[in-house]
Amino acid sequence: MSSDIAISVKNLTKKYRIFGHPGDRIKQALTFGRVRFHREFTALQDVSFEIKRGETVGIIGRNGSGKSTLLQLICGILKPTVGAVEVNGRISALLELGAGFNPEFTGRENVYFQGTILGLSKEEMDSRFADIAAFADIGEFLDQPVRTYSSGMFVRLAFATAIHVDPDILVVDEALAVGDMAFQRKCFERLGQLLSDRQRVVLLVSHDLRQVERFCSRAIFLQSGKIMADGPAHDVCQLYCEKANEEIKLENSSAASWSRAKIDSSGEVELLNINIMDSNGQEIQEICPGDPLRVRIRFRLFVSLTQPELIVGTQAVDMQFLSSSTTAELGVPIRLEPGEHLVEYLLDQFPLAPGRYFIRFVIRDKTFRIVFAGEGLCPFLVIADSREFDRPPRLLDLKPEWVLCGVHY
């Protein structure tokens, strides 16, 4: 391997054995493998790439696409089924929680233990310990067994150790997501400093595309264990985003997309139909950021309701309520008679950033009794456009007026 290559991965395939029952593993051993009690699952298939010194590479892909498997193969924790990994330099890894630390040892003991594994002497670790403790900032827990740590404390100590052992290659597998925001920022600042040494390599698995774009020069996109794309982080993240959009659209077009719908009805109301429509009244499933939002709801009422309240709101994928509007805001009492009703809810602009959203629809009577409550209804998309990756992270797409003094155009 040439000296400027830090990691070389050639035709890497990893197959896991899946046993139907825990006892099947023993049965297979007892038959000396003559009878097969397992099936094979290919988590990585024929993956090849090289990483040069000084590169920061993000590994992205959906859950189960093989990212952690790849990192574990690079770190030597797993053995490949086929292919080879060559690593040129000292590798320090911050893998999933629990990896590498012994839960019965104290934090201090684990730090020294990690140092020994990576070939550092006790004196070398003595001289670094104060910095590790200061960075981790977990106080007296340093002398408590690691099993008593919260996941955040664990990752603090593991990260502090990983960056203070002079790694040539630092591997970070999503673990940072556990730390609080201030700690994450501190970690990324420190990673940036580490990278000022042009010889170092950082491999980062993250679901946060913005983090990957900001931090990595290159990204590798894995899909079902294969490389879908490998190139400049911006381009690969954009491709990943487009693929994700396509998949969400596909999910949205299937009946499964209604699986989030949760309806609680007193029996006095039947929801007939709810959809998003364009300005011509045509049903649509996606809108662009900042477009108008028009929701049309048809329902049948079996009783008459005096002074009811209709509430329409939007929800995020985690069902968090994003907005709620009520007809009570009209200030005019309304009355609903038995029969079919049609309600349209119109917003000039829907200010939320690209993502998947749902509609919530509630009817209360004048005593605030819930007559009908539907959540997770009518899934729709605010789609990412090509400018998405130049924009800062946000939840809302607001359209401010700017006053810029002394700025030349």
Ligand X SMILES: Nc1ncnc2c1ncn2[C@@H]1O[C@H](COP(=O)(O)OP(=O)(O)OP(=O)(O)O)[C@@H](O)[C@H]1O
- Taking the complex as a whole, the smallest distance from the CB of residue 41 to ligand X amounts, in Å, to 5
Q: Does residue 64 belong to the site contacting ligand X (CB under 6 A)?
A: yes
Cβ pair 209, 237 in contact under 8 A: yes
- The phi, psi pair for 301, rounded to 5°, reads -110, 135
Q: What sign does the dihedral 239-241-244-248 (CA atoms) show? A: negative
- Taking the complex as a whole, the smallest distance from the CB of residue 334 to ligand X amounts, in Å, to 48
CA distance 92 to 146: 19
- Taking the complex as a whole, the smallest distance from the CB of residue 229 to ligand X amounts, in Å, to 15
> Which lies closer to ligand X via its Cβ, residue 96 or residue 168?
96
> Which lies closer to ligand X via its Cβ, residue 205 or residue 371?
205
Return the range that interacts with ligand X (CB under 6 A); candidates 60-68, 186-194, 374-382, 394-402. Answer: 60-68
Rg (CA), the chain: 27
Structure token pair of residue 13:
């395939």
Residues 299-328 that bind ligand X (CB under 6 A): none
CA distance 141 to 153: 9
Q: Does residue 176 belong to the site contacting ligand X (CB under 6 A)?
A: no
CA distance 337 to 317: 34
Strand runs labelled E in 53-173: 56-60, 82-87, 91-94, 169-173
Q: Does residue 65 belong to the site contacting ligand X (CB under 6 A)?
A: yes
Return the range that interacts with ligand X (CB under 6 A); candidates 62-70, 99-107, 180-188, 400-408. Answer: 62-70
Helix axes 181-195, 151-163, angle to 10 degrees: 10
Q: Does residue 61 belong to the site contacting ligand X (CB under 6 A)?
A: yes
The region that residue 320 occupies, defined by phi over 0 for left and psi between -120 and 50 for alpha, beta otherwise, is: beta
How do beta strands 370-382 and 286-287 pair? Answer: parallel
Q: Does residue 68 belong to the site contacting ligand X (CB under 6 A)?
A: yes
CA distance 172 to 212: 12
- Taking the complex as a whole, the smallest distance from the CB of residue 12 to ligand X amounts, in Å, to 12
- Taking the complex as a whole, the smallest distance from the CB of residue 153 to ligand X amounts, in Å, to 21
Cβ pair 152, 179 in contact under 8 A: yes
- Taking the complex as a whole, the smallest distance from the CB of residue 250 to ligand X amounts, in Å, to 20
**# residues contacting ligand X (CB under 6 A):** 12
Return the range that interacts with ligand X (CB under 6 A); candidates 59-67, 115-123, 194-202, 353-361. Answer: 59-67
Return the range that interacts with ligand X (CB under 6 A); candidates 58-66, 108-116, 275-283, 300-308. Answer: 58-66
> Which lies closer to ligand X via its Cβ, residue 15 or residue 90?
15
- Taking the complex as a whole, the smallest distance from the CB of residue 312 to ligand X amounts, in Å, to 35
CA distance 276 to 296: 6
> Which lies closer to ligand X via its Cβ, residue 41 or residue 321?
41
- Taking the complex as a whole, the smallest distance from the CB of residue 400 to ligand X amounts, in Å, to 36
Cβ pair 71, 58 in contact under 8 A: no
């049609």: which residue's tokens? 342
Return the range that interacts with ligand X (CB under 6 A); candidates 63-71, 134-142, 334-342, 385-393. Answer: 63-71
Per-residue binding string, ligand X, 14-43, x by CB under 6 A, is --x-x----------------------x-x
CA distance 216 to 204: 8
Pick from 2, 3, 63, 320 the residue near ligand X by CB under 6 A: 63
CA distances from 65 to 60, 178, 292, 365 (A): 9, 21, 36, 49
Quickly count helices (H) and strands (E) in the chain.
8, 21
- Taking the complex as a whole, the smallest distance from the CB of residue 220 to ligand X amounts, in Å, to 12
> Which lies closer to ligand X via its Cβ, residue 3 or residue 63?
63
CA distance 244 to 286: 14
Pick from 56, 58, 66, 363 the residue near ligand X by CB under 6 A: 66
Give the distance from CA 357 to its chain's centroid: 17
> Which lies closer to ligand X via its Cβ, residue 183 or residue 221?
221
CA distance 346 to 348: 7
Q: Does residue 244 belong to the site contacting ligand X (CB under 6 A)?
A: no
- Taking the complex as a whole, the smallest distance from the CB of residue 181 to ligand X amounts, in Å, to 21
Q: Does residue 67 belong to the site contacting ligand X (CB under 6 A)?
A: yes
Pick from 69, 88, 314, 315 the residue near ligand X by CB under 6 A: 69
Contact residues for ligand X (CB under 6 A)? Answer: 16, 18, 41, 43, 61, 63-69
